Amino acid sequence: MTIVRTEANDFAERPTRGVASQDGGISGHLHNTGQFLVFRADREAKIRVNITGGPLAYHYQFEEIYIHYGMDDGHGSEHRINNYAFPAEIQVYGFNAELYHNMSEAQHKSQGLVAISLMVQLGETLNPELQIITSVFNKVVYRGDTAPVRYLSLKSLLPDTTGYMTYEGSTTHPGCWETAVWLILNKPIYITARELYALRKLMQGPSSTPKAPLGNNSRPLQGLHYRTVRTNIDFAKVMLRCDYITRYFVRRM
């Protein structure tokens, strides 16, 4: 989905209270499914991590993370902002723990899921929590490979922002259930060229028949289809600040 700034309706809303984990984070496994790279929390050792606040009327329990990325820096994210695509997008999924017992039940039901979209931008400094995931890329090169991931803090994975855009839509992986409340955070997290290169070395097939690279695994761009996109971002203030910065640096050059 591409979101144009002028299509987002302003609304007064409390910021997301975000996620809160205990005992240093979540343990789970990273899976190469042959179509996606997915982190799933270990059920037997799962710490209850709630996602609350913002536009969410319920408490959602963290379940899994999907990583979508392109084979070049101009493609990869499933959401575009003013038609700008990021090289990757991380999607954090949770299920409605107040109404449903688990992800399998919730994904078919109204208000069943929350999906937090983190845009991933190329930078010189890697997000420390993202590094916990990227450090095992070499262990999930082929379809069916899994690797343990220990003490991942969702709170630290998120960018330092309270601004977001939100809409009700579908999941982007097979099933495409129209049961998700999406939150697209207005700041990216960063990945280095080295880690992005390692990500692009992952393959769709097993080691015996690797087939094609796992990248370019985003759903084709979808239209809004009359969905309402809301935001708590004050674009007037953002534009004023950008204008001030532009004029300041123009004078100094």
CATH number where 229 lies: 3.10.200.10
At 54 the pLDDT is: 81
Would residue 220 count as lying in a domain? yes
The burial of 125, by beta-carbon neighbours within 10 Å (0-12 exposed, 13-18 middle, 19 or more buried), is given as exposed
At 7 the pLDDT is: 45
Which residues partner with 183 through β-bridges? 116, 166
Q: Residue 250: is its pLDDT beyond 70?
A: no
Please give the tally of structural domains in the chain: 1
Would residue 3 count as lying in a domain? no
Would residue 109 count as lying in a domain? yes
Domain that holds residue 23: 19-241
* Residue 49 pLDDT grade (very low, low, confident, very high; cuts 50, 70, 90): confident
**Is 100 noted as a catalytic residue in this protein?**
yes
Strands (E), 82-155: 88-96, 113-122, 146-152
Q: Residue 241: is its pLDDT beyond 60?
A: no
Q: Residue 93: is its pLDDT beyond 90?
A: yes
Would residue 199 count as lying in a domain? yes
At 149 the pLDDT is: 96
Q: Which of 5, 33, 18, 54 is nearest to 181 (CA)?
A: 54
Catalytic residue among 66, 93, 100, 167: 100
Would residue 11 count as lying in a domain? no
More confident: 253 or 227:
227
More confident: 169 or 214:
214
Please state the pTM of the whole predicted model.
0.84
At 251 the pLDDT is: 31
More confident: 171 or 149:
149
Would residue 249 count as lying in a domain? no
pLDDT tens per residue, range 178-201? 778 999 999 999 999 999 999 999
Would residue 208 count as lying in a domain? yes
Would residue 1 count as lying in a domain? no
Distance (Å, rounded) from C-alpha 66 to C-alpha 162? 22
Query: Lowest mean pLDDT: which of 10-14, 140-144, 232-236?
Result: 10-14
Based on its alpha-carbon atoms, the radius of gyration of the chain, rounded to whole angstroms, reads 18
Q: 124: Cβ–Cβ under 8 A, 6 or more apart, which residues? A: 190, 192
At 133 the pLDDT is: 97
